[in-house]
Structures are given as C-alpha cells and as structure tokens.
Amino acid sequence: IVHSFWPPRFAGKRDVFPNRETRLWFKAEEAGEYPGQCTEFCGLQHARMAFRVRAQTPEEFQTWVSHMQTLGAKPAGAAAVTDSVRTASVGAKVQAHQQLRPRIDARQNAAGRDSGSTISPPVPPQDPAYAAGEKLFQAKGCVGCHSLNAVNAPKGMIGPNLANVGGRSYIGAGSFKNTDENLSRWIQNPQAMKVGVLMPNLGVTAAEAKSLVAYLRAHQ
C-alpha cells in the first residue's frame, strides 16, 4: 500500500512507502490544528485516510517533549513484561489478521460515527484500572501488532503505533472521535466500526474493553 501525505494548508505533498523513511519539511505560521488527507488511492478506506497536523508554540512543544519522555515510567516495584507475553496463543492471535477477509455489510452503519462523548482523564500507573488494562494489553496479543512505549517487550509493527493514543482527537485514521465509547467499540469489534480493517475480533468483553480504554487513555 502506498499513501501520499498532504496537508493542504501547507505547501507540497509526499508519497510514503512501507519500510522506507520519507521526509517533508514545511513551516506553520500559526499554532493550531490543520487537516490533512491521503491523496493516493490506497484501498477501500482511502476516503477515510485523514489526519491532523498539530502546530505548537516552542514552549508548548517543549512541554510535549518533556511529557513524552516520561511515558513508560513505572511505579516502584512494578513488574516488567516477561517472556510469557510471547506465547503461542499471542502468536496465533497475531497471525489471525492475515487470514481475515474483510466483509462489507450494514454493520458499519449501525456502529455509528460518534457514539458517546465521554473522554475520561488519564489514570496513573498505580491505579488498578491501569494495571488491569496493561495485563490485558499483553494477554490479548495487542503487543504483537502495536507498539507502545510503556510496554517492555518487542514492538509490534503490523498495526498502528499507539504512542500518545490517549491524547489523539480521532481514531481509525480520522473516522471516529476518540471518545471512551468509540475506543471501546473499536477494541471489541473493529470490523463493525470500519470496513476493511485488518484487526481481528479478539473476543474482548465490555468489562475488558473498559480496562483497556483506561490503560490507553493514560498514554497521552
């Protein structure tokens, strides 16, 4: 799949390729959030390949950098992820996406684009909800596809990088507002949310999804 990165408020666009580093330099004259869009037909969901460029003042950017450097900090005595996360069951779940054949049906419309508006504040690593979500993130095989700074394990490269996912405005490449409700629905049944997505249904319950949302929301 080839995409083309294009923020129309700025000059130029750039094609991007898998496993190849591509750079594009531009300058934002004012701080703010600017919309962008993929301009290369990249599949059935091309129309939804949207993104946003967030321009910050130097002070805001430095605050963001300092915050990002704290991600992954563990409370004293917290256990690191062990080799148990790299089990056969995790491997089977990671392989499942390769056998998935996306189905276009009416369930996507039923999922709704803006289900709920709750955005919970981030919980600290000491919070039980964080610990429960962290455990599920490993046990359900999320680490096999996704990279997350806080996880002391090999970084998955199949799915999107989840760094600061809790602070993003949208999920699903701009398809849904990043509310607790939408994030939970995505975790439980991603194929019903967005046609063609390769993330399989891993059998996550509503209670488990709530813990995972709390864990992911902490990464901002």
Q: State which amino acid sits at residue 146.
A: H
pLDDT at 179: 93
pLDDT at 106: 38
Q: State which amino acid sits at residue 127.
A: D
Residue 137: partners with Cβ closer than 8 Å, 6 or more residues away: 143, 148, 151, 212, 215, 216
pLDDT at 181: 94
Q: State which amino acid sits at residue 3.
A: H
Domains (ranges, CATH) in the chain?
1-55 (2.60.40.420), 122-219 (2.60.40.420)
Tell which residue, 175, 206, 171, 211, has the closest CA to residue 189: 206
pTM, rounded to two decimals: 0.65
Q: Which residues of the chain have pLDDT under 50?
A: 74-113
pLDDT at 116: 65
pLDDT at 135: 92
Contact 76, 84 (CB under 8 A): no
Q: State which amino acid sits at residue 42.
A: C
